């Protein structure tokens, strides 16, 4: 009997569950009213928030639509001002646009929509010649604009200067164009602010001219030119530093030292000649005498040609110098005829004297004869030097071959010059040096077929991009030296993208033109 009355484990657990349910029921019964009130409050709050959010969405959608329609009316009116066929109806179109724009910034005050509508509204007043009211609207925009519309605040300040300029109050216009007159724009990219302020400075220079202050105008134009060039150099420096890091990444991937004094183009030519000599050495070891001879001849020809070009120019300069000296002496010069080279020079001097006499005679036939004589002397002098230095070139190549043969393997590689240039903060030159070192390494490895395919691809991609940058900057600097500003700016733009630096080619070229114009007038 006692055994049958003993409770099982499951029965005990069931009793506890029932007991818990009874406690919950009792709690709900005691607090039912409070729970219902709390639930209603939560539901009302959720509904209110949903309604508020939906209202904001609807409000924003309405504002967007209203601004879009007002902007379309504004653009139609603006286009009519520059269309002779629609000019007669432009006033009515401006009035229609003003009504819509004003409704937007009044109904949706303290929003980005209101700022944009007010800016366009102020422009319509400007077009109508109502400069004081336009200025008031621009000033109100600057004072009340939302953080997202900081760019509009900059252009509004520039427009204030325009209103004064249109009224002929150049002193106030100049003050309005001052950089310190512009509102702060902490959330705006610095490049955008620089662009707007540069435009304002250009307008300031024009205002100085209109007020007959040419000196101040010229100084302001120069400030624009100098700031443009300074910003451009900074941009090129930063770009070069970025590219140097790319070059270093390639060098790291190569995994062994590089070597080439590439800060000097002539040194680079010699490095490439060394590469060809290594190739010749490989042909020599393989017994391919015909290929060996072809490589040696190629080295000699290239080296001789380089010297010939340089010395031909020197030859012409020396002949011109000789003519000046002989003309001053006015009589034949002595010569050491025991020396064939001295005799040649003496004969050349004699011919120069003869040419000088023919020229002094003033007769056209003799003047032509003098010209031919000068040309003959120069040609002979150049040919003599060419032959002499071609022979020296061959001698140097033979000496280099002996050294290479003694070493029996390619030269080691290192980049001290590139690192030195980088430490001196000559970043573009350093980038050129790194690039040339990498290219030289690639050529040497190609000769011995030891360049892995992945590394070859990486170097190839780097080389292609690097040469595009280097060629563009070199073209730009050549164009600058030749006075071709537009061409220079085009090449620089390919490298740094001037607009990303807040620079305008058009503004710079106009400022430079006016600066030179005022300088020539003085």
pLDDT in tens, 362-412: 666 655 665 566 556 555 544 554 454 444 444 444 444 443 344 344 444
Q: Give just the sign of the alpha carbon dihedral 66, 69, 72, 77.
A: negative
Q: Give just the sign of the alpha carbon dihedral 184, 189, 191, 195.
A: negative
Question: Which among 112, 80, 110, 83 has a CA at the least distance from the CA of 97?
Answer: 80
* Pairwise CA distance, residues 9 & 20, whole Å: 17
Question: Which among 236, 385, 226 has a CA at the least distance from the CA of 304?
Answer: 385
Provide the pLDDT for residue 234.
93
According to CATH, what is the number of the domain 67-217? 1.25.40.10
Question: Under a CB-based contact definition with an 8 Å cutoff, are residues 149 and 116 in contact?
Answer: yes
Which residues of the chain have a pLDDT value below 70?
A: 1-17, 19-21, 25, 28-29, 49-57, 59, 256-415, 448-449, 522
Provide the pLDDT for residue 405.
46
Provide the pLDDT for residue 456.
83
Provide the pLDDT for residue 264.
45
Question: Under a CB-based contact definition with an 8 Å cutoff, are residues 240 and 430 in contact?
Answer: yes
Distance, first Cα to last Cα, the chain: 131
Domain range annotation of the chain: 2-52, 67-217, 218-260+413-522, 263-411
All residues at 6 or more sequence positions from 37 whose CB lies less than 8 Å from its CB, including other chains? none
Provide the pLDDT for residue 33.
73
Question: Under a CB-based contact definition with an 8 Å cutoff, are residues 406 and 324 in contact?
Answer: no
* Pairwise CA distance, residues 428 & 240, whole Å: 5
Provide the pLDDT for residue 297.
57
Instruction: Work out the angle between the directed axes of helices 131-144 and 150-166 (0-180°, nearest 10).
Output: 160
- In the DSSP assignment, the letter for residue 503 is -
């Amino acid at each position: 009997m006692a055994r049958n009355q003993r409770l099982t484990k499951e029965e005990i657990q069931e009793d506890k569950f029932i007991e818990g349910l009874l406690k919950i029921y009792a709690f709900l019964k005691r607090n039912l009213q409070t729970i219902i009130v709390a639930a209603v409050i939560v539901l009302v709050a959720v509904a209110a928030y949903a309604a508020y959010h939906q209202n904001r969405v609807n409000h924003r959608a309405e504002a967007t639509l209203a601004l879009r329609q007002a902007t379309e009316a504004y653009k139609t009116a603006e286009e009519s001002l520059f269309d002779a066929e629609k000019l007669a109806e432009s006033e009515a179109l401006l009035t229609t646009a003003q009504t819509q724009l004003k409704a937007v910034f009044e109904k949706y005050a303290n929003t980005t929509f209101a700022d944009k509508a007010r800016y366009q509204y102020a422009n319509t007043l400007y077009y109508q010649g109502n400069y004081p009211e336009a200025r008031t609207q621009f000033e109100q925009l600057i004072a009340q604009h939302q953080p997202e519309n900081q760019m509009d605040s900059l252009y509004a300040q520039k427009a204030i200067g325009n209103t004064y300029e249109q009224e002929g109050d150049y002193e106030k216009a100049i003050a309005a164009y001052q950089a310190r007159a512009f509102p702060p724009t902490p959330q705006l990219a610095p490049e955008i602010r620089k662009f707007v302020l540069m435009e304002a400075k250009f307008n300031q220079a024009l205002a100085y001219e209109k007020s007959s202050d040419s000196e101040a105008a010229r100084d302001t134009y120069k400030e624009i030119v100098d700031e443009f060039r300074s910003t451009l150099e900074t941009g090129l420096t930063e770009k070069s530093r970025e590219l140097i890091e790319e070059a270093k990444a390639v060098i790291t991937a190569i995994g062994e030292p590089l070597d080439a004094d590439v800060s000097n183009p002539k040194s680079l030519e010699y490095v490439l000649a060394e590469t060809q000599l290594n190739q010749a050495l490989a042909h020599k070891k393989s017994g391919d005498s015909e290929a060996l001879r072809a490589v040696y001849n190629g080295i000699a020809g290239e080296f001789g040609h380089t010297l010939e070009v340089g010395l031909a120019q020197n030859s012409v300069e020396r002949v011109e110098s000789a003519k000046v000296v002989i003309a001053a002496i006015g009589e034949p010069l002595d010569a050491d005829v025991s020396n064939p080279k001295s005799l040649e020079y003496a004969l050349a001097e004699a011919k120069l004297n003869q040419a000088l006499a023919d020229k002094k005679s003033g007769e056209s036939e003799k003047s032509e004869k003098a010209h031919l004589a000068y040309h003959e002397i120069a040609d002979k002098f150049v040919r003599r030097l060419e032959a002499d230095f071609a022979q020296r070139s061959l001698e140097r190549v033979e000496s280099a071959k002996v050294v290479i043969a003694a070493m029996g393997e390619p030269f080691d590689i290192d980049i001290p010059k590139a690192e030195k240039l980088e430490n001196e903060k000559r970043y573009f030159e350093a980038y050129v040096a790194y690039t040339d070192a990498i290219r030289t390494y690639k050529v040497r490895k190609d000769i011995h077929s030891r360049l892995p395919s992945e590394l070859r691809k990486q170097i190839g991609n780097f080389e292609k991009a690097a040469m595009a940058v280097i060629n563009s900057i070199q073209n730009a600097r050549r164009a600058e030296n030749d006075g071709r500003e537009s061409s220079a700016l085009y090449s620089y733009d390919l490298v740094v993208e001037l607009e990303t630096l807040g620079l305008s080619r058009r503004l710079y070229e106009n400022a430079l033109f006016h600066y030179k114009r005022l300088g020539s007038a003085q």
